[in-house]
Amino acid sequence: MRHVVVGSGASGAMAALHLSSHGHQVLVLEAGRPFRPITRKVRHAEPLRRTGALGTERTITRIFPHMRTTRSGELVVVRGIGLGGCTALSCGSIVRTERGLREIGLDLNREFEEVGSKLSTCTVPKERWRPTTRRMFDVAERMGLRPEASRKAIDLERCVSCGMCELGCATGAKWDSGRWIEEAVSLGAEVLYGSEAQRVIAEDGKVTGVSVSGPKGTTLIRADTIILAAGGVGTAQVLQRSGVPVSDGLWIDPVITIGGVLKGARQLNEVPMSWHCFGKEHMISPYLDLLSHYFHPSWRGVSVKDRVGVMIKLADSANGRVDAEGLIEKALTQDDVERIVEATATVEAIMSEAGVKGPFQVGMINGGHLGGTFPLRSEDVKKMRSPSLPEGLWVADLSLVPSSQGSPTMMLAAALGLRVAKRIEDGLDHW
């Protein structure tokens, strides 16, 4: 059987690796190109940033095509397009998160353990944290917030603490799922770059192939099984073009970074998100948001050397929609706003007590964990697929997750990809 995997992020890469390691024929379709990080030369853009000449967040897509941004009102939705998907744009934080899964009866414990065994993680020693970050950690501890050092999929011997994780790792210290794709290729899998799945072709209720736009135009690739792992937006587009309805339940895990000022803080000279603490429906972590620094108007007046940021990652309402062309409609609800206000007060208290000065400014509200557009129901969990799908078509990414996580999601995405790959191998499509 020939399996086609659409997307090379955490879920697609894990599905491809599992199937390849069990002797299956696998072809991975990646809409982007092999990943190339931005280097520290990005700092040469500082004079343009201060004048606003860099324009909006859309500029970054022109200079860094692996990061694609789409705006819906005040929200900026970020997608990773290239080998490794959004894992290549992450800060390397590894967290087990499964919010909303227990309610539908989905237990991924075994998959989490298997994924964890394939990752080498560590915590960044406090001596490598900047002084301001250490002080904020101590303040959070005194406030009873129970902060802890974040587990990172990073090789600290190769890491130079450049703070540029979200624009790719120039030294190769940070893990991304491109490594799983390379391992799958060593086992016989193939990868087609610049190949964007358009729609699935089915005959008599069974998948026969997928229409793909690529360097040679539009082609039809034959397949027995198609695994959609293009994220909450990309997967929803393919499904709709294929005549499969999706849910208006998009969530994005929005990041709201509170910016303050401290002379000589040099927060960019450390691994971002070196510690974190959780609230009821959010996470707090030190983070100098580069999107806000370069493209958010209210952040222009402060040098990167003096900027201090703390992230609020929110578990937002699942209320967004995506159309077949990728147009996104997503807004914060009143409940979301109230939770942001509450978390912001906590963050400002931490920063103030640690010596960071105001006025505190809210950065660009952006989200890159995209899910909820094809959520599993309790009755779908055993097979890991909806009966609305033609035989041979599977969804394997965060689209399946009904609830926003408010936390790093790479491990969850990989666990989903692994569970779906196991179901395919078991032949449960025919139950």
Is residue 411 pLDDT above 70, yes or no?
A: yes
Stretch 245-271: mean pLDDT: 97
∠ Cα 425 426 428 (to 5°): 115
pLDDT at 424 over 70: yes
Q: What's the mean pLDDT in 300-328?
A: 95
Structure token digits, residue 53: 């000449």
CB-CB neighbours of 325 under 10 Å: 8
The burial of 142, by beta-carbon neighbours within 10 Å (0-12 exposed, 13-18 middle, 19 or more buried), is given as: exposed
Q: How far apart are CA 218 and CA 130, in angstroms?
A: 51
Q: How confident is the prediction for the chain on average, in pLDDT?
A: 94
Decide if pLDDT at 10 tops 80.
Answer: yes
Residues in the chain: 431
Q: Say yes or no to pLDDT of 427 above 90.
A: no
- Which own/partner pairs from 328-336 qualify as long-range (CB within 8 Å, at least 24 positions apart)? 328/70, 328/72, 328/77, 328/233, 328/250, 329/72, 330/72, 330/73, 330/75, 330/77, 330/250, 330/252, 331/72, 331/73, 331/74, 331/75, 332/74, 332/75, 332/254, 332/365, 336/254
Any idea what DSSP says for residue 216? T
Q: Is the predicted pLDDT of residue 40 greater than 60, yes or no?
A: no
Residue 353 has pLDDT above 50, yes or no: yes
Q: Which domain holds residue 94?
A: 2-430
Region 164-180: mean pLDDT is: 94
What is the pTM assigned to this prediction?
Answer: 0.95
Buried b / exposed e over 333-348, threshold 16 CB at 10 Å, is: eeebeebbeebbebbb
CB 344 within 8 A of CB 256: yes
Dist. CA 245–CA 242, nearest whole Å:
9
Q: What backbone torsions phi and psi does residue 255 show, to the nearest 5 degrees?
A: -105, 125
Residues 290-305 have pLDDT tens digits of 999 988 888 988 999 9
**b/e 368-387 (16+ beta carbons within 10 angstroms → b):** bbbbbbbbbeeebbebbbbe
d(CA 73, CA 84): 28
Of 89, 76, 15, which is closest to residue 257 (Cα–Cα)?
Answer: 76
In this prediction, residue 430 carries a pLDDT of: 42
Give the pLDDT score at 355: 98
- pLDDT per residue as tens digits for the range 78-91: 999 999 999 999 99
Beta-carbon contacts of residue 94 (< 8 Å; ≥ 6 apart) = 116, 119, 121, 151, 152, 153, 408, 410, 411
Q: Domain of 129: which CATH number? A: 3.50.50.60
Q: How many CB atoms lie within 10 A of CB 125?
A: 10
* Number of domains, the chain: 1
Question: Which helix or strand (DSSP H or E) is residue 149 part of?
Answer: strand 148-149
What average pLDDT does range 54-70 have in this prediction? 85
Q: Which residues touch 423 (CB under 8 Å, ≥6 apart)?
A: 383, 384, 385, 394, 429
Percent of the chain's residues with pLDDT above 90: 87
pLDDT at 320 over 80: yes
For residue 111, pLDDT beyond 70: yes
pLDDT at 215: 85
| pLDDT for the residue 3 | 97
Under the banding of pLDDT at 50, 70 and 90, the label for residue 53 is low
Give the pLDDT confidence score for residue 41 in this predicted structure: 58
pLDDT of residue 279: 93
- Token pair for residue 208? 């026969």
DSSP 240-271: HHTT----S-BB---EEEEEEE-TT--TTSS-
How far is residue 218's CA from residue 297's CA, in Å, rounded to a whole number?
Answer: 41
pLDDT > 70 in the chain, percent:
96
* Two tokens, residue 65: 């095509």
Q: Is the pLDDT higher at 221 or at 429? A: 221
Q: How confident is the model at residue 61 (pLDDT cuts 50, 70, 90)?
A: confident
Residue 253 contacts residue 407 (beta carbons within 8 Å): yes
User: Can you tell me whether residue 329 is helix, strand or coil?
Assistant: strand
pLDDT at residue 338 in the model: 97
Q: CA–CA separation, 358 vs 261, rounded Å?
A: 6
428: pLDDT strictly greater than 80: no
- Give Cα separations from 348 to 277, 343, 361 (angstroms): 15, 9, 10
- Convert 209-226 to b/e letters by CB count within 10 Å (16 or more is b): bbbbebeeeeeebebbbb
Residue 98's CB: how many other CB atoms inside 10 A?
18
Place of tokens 């899964």: 101
Q: Residue 431 — pLDDT band, cuts 50, 70, 90? A: very low
Res. 39: pLDDT tops 70: no
Task: Report whether pLDDT(1) > 90.
Answer: no
pLDDT at site 75: 96
What mean pLDDT comes out for the span 223-248?
97
What's 281-309 look like in SS3?
A: CEEEEECCCHHHHHHCHHHCCCCCCCEEE
